[in-house]
Structure 1
């Protein structure tokens, strides 16, 4: 998954402003206790980070984006 696709998906799920807040502030256990921003900056693959988002917020992510 390209990084631009990742951010488009995150914006679709949370809205543009809130997506950035989630990425910066929300620590996900699925990412080893890192935020989305930290995981991406650390070189984690976008598909792995997206799967962590889906696992953390299954009720928010529509089936077509899972």
Structure 2
């Protein structure tokens, strides 16, 4: 998962405004108490950050995988 795909997935799941709050303020226990932004800055892969966000916020498994991809080109 690319960073842009993770950002798209966050926006799709949480909305633009709340998604920014979640990535900036929510402490992710599974990532050692870092926020998503801190984890990304520390070099943690966007996919791992996305999955940690999903776990912390109880995103259903069916909405965790394959999200964030742009629509296919025609």
- Name the TM tier (shorter chain): 0.7 to 0.9
Whichever of the two has the greater Rg, that structure is 2
TM-score by length of 1: 0.87
Structure 2 Cα separation of the partners of residues 12 and 62 of structure 1: 15
Higher strand share: 1
Structure that is richer in helix per residue: 1
Provide runs of 4+ in structure 1 moved above 3 Å: none
What is the TM-score of this pair, normalised by structure 2?
0.79
Higher relative contact order (CA 8 A, sep 6+): 2
